[in-house]
């Protein structure tokens, strides 16, 4: 897109105004000799096709008066040669910074117009020159505004990339632009945007507004010690403002984390369900909430391992300290060490000035949740083991040990004992993590919890989507109970969100469910009552005997299912289906 094409609406307005004032037809062409804007009269007489050489001649020479259209040298090759509908034209190049960006023509298609322009050539030449300058000024102003807006967006992106509070002020001390960490840092004061006098000591602000550069001046902000640096922005020896950088004595990211405390609204009551497995988990979590011992949560994807970790943290005495989560599968291996343990200034190319604390340091006094721990690279498992043993770490590029006070909760959806056997996970790290193991059963073994969870999600999404839905039909609850739920609670959550989005009724029914879901369930649903009691007792005895030999852990159940020739999910389902009939 050429420069003039960007501003076609403005050019259309301008050509109409000039055409009305001077009773003349006007057309504007871009750098590629394409017609961008013109009056209706010009379009009717000449159409959209442009004879490029004539426009190129104008852009090369600046001004051209065509007194005999169709009979000029530049008319050679034009379809109107010898029979041009125009009677006279005055053309002028449109330039920006000494470079042509297009051309404009004032044209008449009548004998009277020819006579008028010939008689007052100087007037019309001045008019076309003025129009050309008008277009140039309009484009220049628009481009400068666009450039200003672009620079402002780029500056905002730059500010947001900073891990410290960075903001700009004008000559009076009012904040012009700032990043999100600045908003977080100054959240205690409603007046900070009006003037930095409200948030920084007066002598410091005076120096900033007098144009003095500052480097690491210690100040107190709210309840924190900080260092303020400032760089003045001067234009033509006049102070226009400053860029201010604030670094908390204890890293700003940690400050931000403590303010937000992600997961602090999560409690053990957030773990919904009344099945035996869920009650056991809640009771176990309550017992260990205040402990310093490491916890290893196992369970299939979507069972709520992260929710349980947050609940343990917020129930214990560390609830007012940070909860920092790390997904070990989402961090590139090359960045894993610096992300987890932090780095010192100059540790590698592009390292942040002053270094950067890792997740361990950011979780100081609180909990570090290592999700998908089975994905951690082997060479880093050694370093993690050392941290867990010594409760101290060494940053990348550092030479000193940094003491830490962090509680570790790890989680995995893999058979981590099998990873140990195959050499993909260190046994010594496994035993260090597996002090308090908690296994979350899959949803297929917790059929009693499905209705509770479904109603919780219904309430949540009804509020979020601003819809009034009173409940879920018994038929739909029954159908949900027949599903195997390979995606566990997350899959159920997605199903309910879909239903709330799609339903137009006051109650969710099977009509609200995805068609694929209903089709599968109606084909596969088998009532528990169809299982004969004698067969149930025999099958249950076989399963229990096999589990007693292999063990009731996740690893044991996997081995038992393999021996029985069934899948692990089928084993869980069989146990659930057979327990009730067998006990009668």
Cα distance between residue 543 and residue 565, in whole Å: 11
Helix (H, G, I), strand (E, B) or coil at 516: helix
Task: Tell me if domain 3-143 and domain 162-256 are identical in fold.
Answer: yes
Q: Which two tokens stand for residue 534?
A: 């004698």
pLDDT, tens digit only, all 584 positions of the chain: 888 988 899 999 999 999 999 999 999 999 899 999 999 999 999 998 888 988 988 998 888 888 889 888 888 889 999 899 999 999 999 998 888 999 999 999 999 999 999 999 999 999 999 999 999 999 898 888 888 878 777 777 777 767 778 888 888 888 888 887 787 777 666 555 567 888 888 888 999 998 889 888 888 776 667 888 999 888 667 888 899 988 876 544 444 444 444 445 788 888 888 888 899 999 999 999 999 999 999 999 999 999 999 999 999 988 888 889 898 888 887 788 888 888 887 777 666 666 788 889 888 888 999 999 999 888 889 989 999 998 888 888 888 888 888 999 999 999 999 999 999 999 999 999 999 999 999 998 888 899 999 999 999 999 988 899 999 988 888 888 888 888 899 999 999 999 999 988 889 988 888 877 766 655 554 444 344 444 455 566 677 778 878 887 777 888 888 877 777 777 777 776 655 444 44
Q: Running DSSP on this structure, what letter comes out for residue 352?
A: P
Q: Which residues pair with 410 in a beta bridge?
A: 296, 370
Q: Is the dihedral of CA 380, 383, 385, 387 positive or negative?
A: negative
CA distances, 544 to each of 113, 535, 548, 563, 581 (Å)? 105, 14, 6, 13, 15
Strand (E) or helix (H) holding 55: helix 52-61
Q: 298: buried, middle or exposed (CB in 10 Å: 19+, 13-18, 0-12)?
A: buried
Q: Look at residue 248 in the predicted model and tell me its pLDDT.
A: 76
> Do 43 and 26 meet the contact criterion of CB atoms below 8 Å apart?
no
Q: Look at residue 379 in the predicted model and tell me its pLDDT.
A: 87
> Do 49 and 79 meet the contact criterion of CB atoms below 8 Å apart?
yes
Helix (H, G, I), strand (E, B) or coil at 150: helix
Q: Running DSSP on this structure, what letter comes out for residue 529?
A: G
Cα distance between residue 451 and residue 508, in whole Å: 12
Cα distance between residue 449 and residue 460, in whole Å: 17
Those residues with Cβ within 8 angstroms of residue 546's Cβ, 6 or more apart along the chain or in another chain: 560, 563, 564
Entry pTM: 0.49
State the Cα torsion 519-523-527-533 to the nearest 10°: -160
**314 C-beta neighbours (distance < 10 Å), count:** 21
> Do 390 and 342 meet the contact criterion of CB atoms below 8 Å apart?
no
Angle, helix 554-564 to helix 568-583, in steps of 10 degrees: 90
Q: 4-26: b or e for each residue (b if 16 or more CB lie within 10 Å)? A: bebbeeebeebbeebbeebebbb
- Which CATH code is given to the segment(s) 443-525? 1.10.8.60
Q: Look at residue 186 in the predicted model and tell me its pLDDT.
A: 75
Cα distance between residue 280 and residue 576, in whole Å: 16
Closest CA to 354 of 277, 247, 469: 247
Question: What is the maximum alpha-carbon separation in the chain?
Answer: 116
Cα distance between residue 69 and residue 62, in whole Å: 18
**162-256: CATH homologous superfamily?**
PAS domain (3.30.450.20)
Instruction: Please write down the long-range contacts of 3-6, taking CB distance under 8 Å and 24 or more positions apart.
Output: 3/30, 3/31, 3/96, 3/101, 3/102, 3/139, 3/143, 4/28, 4/30, 4/31, 4/36, 4/94, 4/101, 4/102, 4/135, 4/139, 5/30, 5/34, 5/36, 6/142
Those residues with Cβ within 8 angstroms of residue 523's Cβ, 6 or more apart along the chain or in another chain: none
SS3 annotation, 377-441:
CHHHHHHHHHHHHHCEECCECCCCCEECCCEEEEEECCCHHHHHHCCCCCHHHHHHHCCEEEECC
In angstroms, the first-to-last Cα distance of the chain is 80
DSSP 292-326: -S-EEEE--TTS-HHHHHHHHHHHSTTTTS-EEEE
Cα distance between residue 454 and residue 507, in whole Å: 13
> Do 368 and 377 meet the contact criterion of CB atoms below 8 Å apart?
no
> Do 277 and 448 meet the contact criterion of CB atoms below 8 Å apart?
no
Cα distance between residue 176 and residue 70, in whole Å: 59
**476 C-beta neighbours (distance < 10 Å), count:** 22
CATH class of 3-143: alpha beta
DSSP 210-222: TT--EEEEEEEET
Helix (H, G, I), strand (E, B) or coil at 353: coil
Q: Look at residue 526 in the predicted model and tell me its pLDDT.
A: 43
CA distances, 6 to each of 32, 42, 47 (Å)? 14, 21, 21
Those residues with Cβ within 8 angstroms of residue 26's Cβ, 6 or more apart along the chain or in another chain: 15, 18, 19, 38, 39, 42, 104, 105, 106, 107, 131
- CATH T-level assignment (fold) for domain 261-439: Rossmann fold (3.40.50)
**In the chain, where the domains are located:** 3-143, 162-256, 261-439, 443-525, 529-583
């Amino acid at each position: 897109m050429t420069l003039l094409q960007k501003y076609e609406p403005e050019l259309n307005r301008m050509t109409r105004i000039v055409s009305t004032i001077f009773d003349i037809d006007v057309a504007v062409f871009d750098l590629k000799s394409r017609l961008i804007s013109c009056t209706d009269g010009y379009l009717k007489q000449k159409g959209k096709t442009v004879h490029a050489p004539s426009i190129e001649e104008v852009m090369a020479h600046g001004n051209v008066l065509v007194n005999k259209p169709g009979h000029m040298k530049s008319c050679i090759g034009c379809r109107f040669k010898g029979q041009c509908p125009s009677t006279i034209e005055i053309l002028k190049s449109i330039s920006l910074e000494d470079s042509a960006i297009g051309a404009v023509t004032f044209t008449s298609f009548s004998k009277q117009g020819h006579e008028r322009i010939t008689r007052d050539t100087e007037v019309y030449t001045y008019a076309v020159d003025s129009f050309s300058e008008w277009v140039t000024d309009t484009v220049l102003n628009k481009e400068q505004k666009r450039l200003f807006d672009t620079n402002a967006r780029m500056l905002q992106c730059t500010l947001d990339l900073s891990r410290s509070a960075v903001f700009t002020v004008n000559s009076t001390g009012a904040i012009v632009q700032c990043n999100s960490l600045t908003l977080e840092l100054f959240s205690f004061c409603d007046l900070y945007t009006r003037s930095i006098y409200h948030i920084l000591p007066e002598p410091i602000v005076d120096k900033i507004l007098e144009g003095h550069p500052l480097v690491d001046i210690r100040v107190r902000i709210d309840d924190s010690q900080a260092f303020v640096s400032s760089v003045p922005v001067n234009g033509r020896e006049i102070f226009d403002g400053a860029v201010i950088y604030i670094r908390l004595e204890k890293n700003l990211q940690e400050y931000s984390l403590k303010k937000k405390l992600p997961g602090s609204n999560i409690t053990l009551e957030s773990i919904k369900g009344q099945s035996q497995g869920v009650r056991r988990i809640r009771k176990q979590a309550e017992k260990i909430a205040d402990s310093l011992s490491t916890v290893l949560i196992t369970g299939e994807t979507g069972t709520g391992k992260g929710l349980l970790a947050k609940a343990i943290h917020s129930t214990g005495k560390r609830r007012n300290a940070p909860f920092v989560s790390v997904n070990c599968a989402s961090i590139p291996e090359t960045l894993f060490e610096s992300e987890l343990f932090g780095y010192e200034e100059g540790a590698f190319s592009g390292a942040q000035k002053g270094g950067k604390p890792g997740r361990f340091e950011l979780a100081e006094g609180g909990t570090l949740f290592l999700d998908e721990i089975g994905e951690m690279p082997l060479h880093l498992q050694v370093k993690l083991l050392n941290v867990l043993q010594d409760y101290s770490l060494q940053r990348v590029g550092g030479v000193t040990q940094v003491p830490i006070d962090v509680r570790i909760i790890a989680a995995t959806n893999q058979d981590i004992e099998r990873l140990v056997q195959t050499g993909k996970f260190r046994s010594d790290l496994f035993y260090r993590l597996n002090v308090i193991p908690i296994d979350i059963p899959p949803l297929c073994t917790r059929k009693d919890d499905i209705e509770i969870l479904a109603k919780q999600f219904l309430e949540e999404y009804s509020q979020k989507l601003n819809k009034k839905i009173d409940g879920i039909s018994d038929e739909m609850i029954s159908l949900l109970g027949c599903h195997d739920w390979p995606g566990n609670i997350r899959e159920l959550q997605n199903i309910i969100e879909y239903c709330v989005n799609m339903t137009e009724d006051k109650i969710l029914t099977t009509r609200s469910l995805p068609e694929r879901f209903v089709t599968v369930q109606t084909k596969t649903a088998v009532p528990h009552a169809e299982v004969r009691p004698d067969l149930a007792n025999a099958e249950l005895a076989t399963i229990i005997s096999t589990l007693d030999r292999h063990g009731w852990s996740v690893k044991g159940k996997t081995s038992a299912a393999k021996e029985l020739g069934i899948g692990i999910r089928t084993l869980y389902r069989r146990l659930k289906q057979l327990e009730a009939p067998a006990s009668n």
